[in-house]
Chains A and B, each alone.
Chain A
């Protein structure tokens, strides 16, 4: 078995399995801890608050924008760019269609991929530079933050190198990094991609019961 066959075959399936079951284990584990039922008479709907809380925190509040603009720019740039590349880069659509969904969808043109990837890179670099240059960020950051950032950065970078699909080695390197990223994902803070809805939702539900319009 060649290296490319290994990273796109057995290793990929192992990584994807760890990713799916690890993420499920962690989310279910959080929910299973449980919570006492709130018996104070409600003034509004907790369920509606759960969804409103999730939607509200997608959008930054204007009052904080002056102090947090760098994070807003970096955060939005990185996440929008990443999802753009992940879901609309031609090789990704082909891979997902072949291995997972069985159907494909329109892809980004090459120039579109380059712009989207640059936005993602700039965003990630802004977030990373802020992490080691800002005193607050230095104090609260740990090895998990740095590993998550580096893995994501290297996975994206290797993906750009592999874009031309001219080198099997480059494609295999990209796939290997993706496999490592998938294996690491459920154990670190990358999991915020799935846990955010619980966090925002719980606060939204509490505020919703109080009849508050956030």
Chain B
């Protein structure tokens, strides 16, 4: 692949992904710079290059040169922008992958309502097609191709974790159960780092009287294709889950406590596959809230520790599940307190959108976590933080260590299971 052709491939993808929505964003941006004031990477470093709209510049240039309504006229009179070069694309690559978690906080402050996060996702399509992807993400993609998991989690490893959890909670967990109400998928990090979530599901669904299962061929929710920006890879990963769920004839697929996985299957999924699924996608938080409201998983004795909630961007800000986790926490915790700035505009952990899988971004990620640490420090005598996203949890564990904060990090499903009413 020649240098020129790499730039051409990327630009062709930029243009292909510049639909009328992206075009409206490019045309409406007035360069007001407000987005910088919302970006955790700019706020934590003070470096203007982390201004969100600046990260889009190569894609905007390509649009203005080749696709904008007056581009032909401007080319004719020599006023069109110059071609995007490979050098520029390489210069921007860390901005596109290391310094954007696609958290969409910038959209909230933008007077034009520009969805920069969604446009970065489209821009990454160009980078992925041209083979300009950070090494960490590339390795994750290679693991997925071999094992279906970005961490290389095999079915043997999953079955071992299931066996441990069955023993711990005393409830059998059925794999490949035909016709189950729900099929659960998990992120690799949950399976290997927080396997107690399997036991929590078993306990909660037994109490609710719903049948559930885990597929032996499609148990992974993480979609590296979405993080890298490769639609073909994202579709392949999704296809495994869709095929397994439809073969098992389940009614629902449960998206786990993992940020981007929910958007990947719930909102982008049918569009990637070009059809609607034969099952419904439900987020675990959404499902638990529904079961709670239906009285199927009544709350018991509340946890008395002083707790707060981290709002994972892809679940709360971009996923629309703002009230559900709070409603569950109200029932499960007697001393729940919101962090300063919690909710729709809460800070990202700093490691979403593939940043945590990219070792090159480690320093930047830790700097961005400083803002989360400030939010946590705004709560006096805090003991525990509920983090309903496995990726955020790993970032929290590193970040709390870096900022010397002594807090316990727990998942929401585990908390709801632990505070379930006794029979």
Contact = CB atoms under 8 A, between A and B. Distances in A.
Interface in B200-231: none
B345 A136 contact: no
A150 interface: no
Nearest to A199: B28
B270 A40 contact: yes
A47 to B, nearest CB: 15
Given A64-B34, A206-B118, A199 B108 contact: no
Contact of A210 (B42, B114, B319): B319
Interface stretch (B3-11, B14-22, B152-160, B388-396): B14-22
Contacts of A139: 48-49, 51, 54
Size band of the interface chain B makes with A: 35 or more
A141 to B, nearest CB: 5
- Residue of B25, B37, B111, B319 with most partner-chain A CB within 10 A: B111
B113 A53 contact: yes
A107 to B, nearest CB: 29
Interface in B44-63: 48-49, 51, 53-54
B266 interface: yes
A135 B274 CA distance: 44
B152 to A, nearest CB: 30
A145 interface: yes
Contact of B38 (A25, A36, A64): A64
Contacts of A99: none
17 contacts: A30-B23, A33-B18, A35-B20, A35-B21, A39-B275, A64-B37, A68-B109, A75-B32, A136-B42, A139-B54, A140-B51, A140-B54, A142-B31, A191-B27, A196-B111, A202-B24, A213-B322
A203 interface: yes
A36 B237 CA distance: 21
Given A139-B51, A211-B320, 7 more contacts: A30-B24, A40-B269, A60-B111, A61-B345, A63-B341, A71-B34, A201-B24
Nearest to A32: B20
Given A53-B113, A140-B54, A203-B115, A198 B275 contact: no
Contact of A71 (B23, B29, B32, B319): B32
A138 B49 CA distance: 11
A196 B112 contact: yes
Interface string A183-214: 00011010110011011111110110011111
B280 interface: yes
A41 interface: yes
A140 B108 contact: no
B28 A198 contact: yes
Contacts of B53: 140
A29 B68 contact: yes
Given A30-B69, A33-B18, A139-B54, A210 B267 contact: yes
B70 interface: yes
- Residue of A31, A75, A195 with most partner-chain B CB within 10 A: A195
Interface string B267-285: 1111100111000100000
A165 to B, nearest CB: 33
A26 interface: yes
Given A30-B69, A57-B112, A199-B113, A189 B31 contact: yes
Contact of A137 (B18, B33, B67): B33
Contact of A29 (B49, B69, B109, B322): B69
A36 to B, nearest CB: 7
Interface string A15-53: 000000000011011111111101111010000000001
A141 B48 CA distance: 12
B345 A134 contact: no
Contacts of A186: 70
A85 to B, nearest CB: 20
A136 B48 contact: yes
B107 interface: yes
A39 B41 CA distance: 34
Interface in B265-307: 266-271, 274-276, 280
Nearest to B70: A187
Contacts of A110: none
A141 B31 CA distance: 6
Given A61-B109, A202-B115, A41 B270 contact: yes
B110 A57 contact: yes
Interface string A109-147: 000000000000000000000110011111111100100
B417 interface: no
A38 B113 contact: no
A195 B27 contact: yes
A63 B32 CA distance: 18
Contacts of A214: 108, 344
A67 B31 contact: no
B30 interface: yes
Interface in B101-136: 107-115, 118
B329 interface: no
Contacts of B275: 39
- Residue of A32, A39, A203, A213 with most partner-chain B CB within 10 A: A203
